[in-house]
């Protein structure tokens, strides 16, 4: 069986990987699609992000779907041949954070394709995967490409949940890559009254507008584009910061009205904050990290046609063409979401 390993920055290799049989409560899944995420690109481009670095070869990937090929003992509710979206979230269920209802903060999290712990948690870009049955959410009615979008949609749903009441709120989304655009879709579904989106790429802003953003602003062309929203003490209620770029965060904070909320999703290392503005405007700052129970909700919403996450898919490549796939995923002038097509192997 082949799997896609990152050995370091700009060093991806398709290599053999051991194929295991499913144990009790597990299933084997033949991969169909796998989306290249921003974290995969960080490992590819830089060998990690922030203080997280690759210290051993690691299989990448955590946005995957596939078809069940075998059931372990005690598995019910799934069938061989069934299309499933596979959640990469595997909390232990026993640590202090899990027991207080925060599985996404699990102290022993085994999240596919993560170099945070050592040994690293191997990822899902492999031809066949053994997963817990509870991770596998039936995706009947979706195609594999749509089902593989459940993971990034879950990130967006968790962020919108962290933002609190959304009905009628005026929302700012900074950074319109896949997560930012999915946040736009999720915030609109949750009742946002107005959505303003910023990015430095017109191509990304096209997707933001198509997803329902009312106003799109290119802050590279006009660094003061948000100035009209800073009138008085600010005019917007919620900032979803999805870029991980300090200038975007600072500009967004300036546009928030008193007691607005900042939801930080973007991960790119530490950033400095204008603390006087946070204090004087009584702003709330909260992080949003991963997800857990939102995964099944994401699949359900796509199956019901409530959110069309598949509209973000722009390119797919056979697994053997992984180098071309990652090159395309790096090109924000062309690509929004790039997937590996395992069925084309």
Where in the chain are the domains? 2-148+308-344, 154-287
The whole-number average pLDDT for the span 260-268 is 92
What phi, psi does 320 have (nearest 5°)? -60, -20
User: String of b and e for 152-165 (b: at least 16 CB within 10 Å)?
Assistant: bbbbbbbbbbbbee
75: left (phi over 0), alpha (psi -120 to 50) or beta: beta
Residue pair 218/149 in contact by the 8 Å Cβ criterion = no
How far apart (Å, rounded) are the C-alpha atoms in residues 29 and 75?
13
The stretch 303-321 carries a mean pLDDT of 97
Percent of all residues in the chain with a pLDDT value above 90, rounded to a whole number: 94
* The pLDDT value given to residue 133: 97
Residue 16 scores a pLDDT above 90:
yes
Average pLDDT over the chain, rounded to an integer: 96
pTM: 0.96
Mean pLDDT along residues 171-193:
98
What's the pLDDT band for 340 if we cut at 50, 70, 90? very high
Check whether 307 has a pLDDT greater than 80: yes
The band of 115, judged by pLDDT with boundaries at 50, 70 and 90, is very high
For a pLDDT cut of 70, what percent of the chain falls above it? 100
* 3-class DSSP state of 212: coil
What pLDDT was estimated at residue 267? 82
CATH architecture of 154-287: 3-Layer(aba) Sandwich (3.40)
Q: Give the homologous superfamily in CATH for domain 2-148+308-344.
A: Medium-chain alcohol dehydrogenases, catalytic domain (3.90.180.10)
Average pLDDT over residues 190-204: 97
- Is the pLDDT at 145 greater than 70? The verdict is yes
């Amino acid at each position: 069986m082949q799997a896609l390993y990152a050995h370091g920055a700009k060093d991806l290799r398709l290599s053999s990987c051991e194929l295991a049989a499913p144990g009790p409560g597990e299933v084997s899944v033949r991969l169909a699609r796998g989306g290249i995420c921003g974290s995969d690109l960080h490992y590819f481009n830089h060998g990690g992000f922030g203080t997280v670095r690759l210290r051993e070869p690691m299989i990448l990937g955590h946005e995957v779907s596939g078809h069940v090929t075998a059931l372990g003992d005690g598995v019910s509710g799934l069938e061989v041949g069934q299309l499933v979206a596979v959640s990469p979230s595997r909390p232990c269920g026993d640590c202090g954070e899990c027991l207080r209802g925060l599985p996404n903060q699990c102290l022993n999290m085994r999240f596919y394709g993560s170099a945070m712990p050592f040994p690293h948690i191997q990822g899902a870009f492999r031809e066949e995967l053994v997963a817990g049955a509870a991770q596998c959410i039936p995706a009947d009615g979706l195609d594999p490409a749509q089902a593989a979008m459940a993971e990034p949609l879950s990130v967006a749903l968790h962020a919108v949940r962290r933002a609190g009441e959304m009905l009628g709120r005026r929302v700012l989304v900074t950074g319109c890559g896949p997560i930012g655009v999915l946040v736009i879709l999720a915030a609109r579904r949750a009742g946002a009254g107005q959505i303003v989106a910023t990015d430095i790429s017109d191509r990304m802003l096209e997707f933001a507008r198509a997803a329902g953003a009312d106003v799109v602003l290119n802050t590279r062309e006009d660094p003061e584009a948000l100035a009209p929203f800073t009138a008085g003490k600010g005019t917007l209620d919620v900032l979803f910061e999805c870029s991980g770029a300090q200038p975007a965060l600072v500009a967004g904070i300036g546009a928030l009205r008193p007691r607005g909320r900042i939801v930080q999703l973007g991960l790119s290392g530490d950033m400095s904050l204008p603390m006087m503005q946070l204090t004087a405007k009584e702003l709330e700052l909260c992080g949003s990290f991963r997800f857990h129970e939102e995964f099944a909700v994401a699949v359900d919403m796509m199956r019901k046609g409530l959110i069309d996450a598949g509209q973000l898919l722009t390119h797919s490549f056979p697994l053997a063409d992984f180098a071309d796939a990652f090159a395309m995923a790096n090109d924000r002038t062309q690509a929004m979401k790039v997937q590996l097509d395992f069925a084309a192997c």
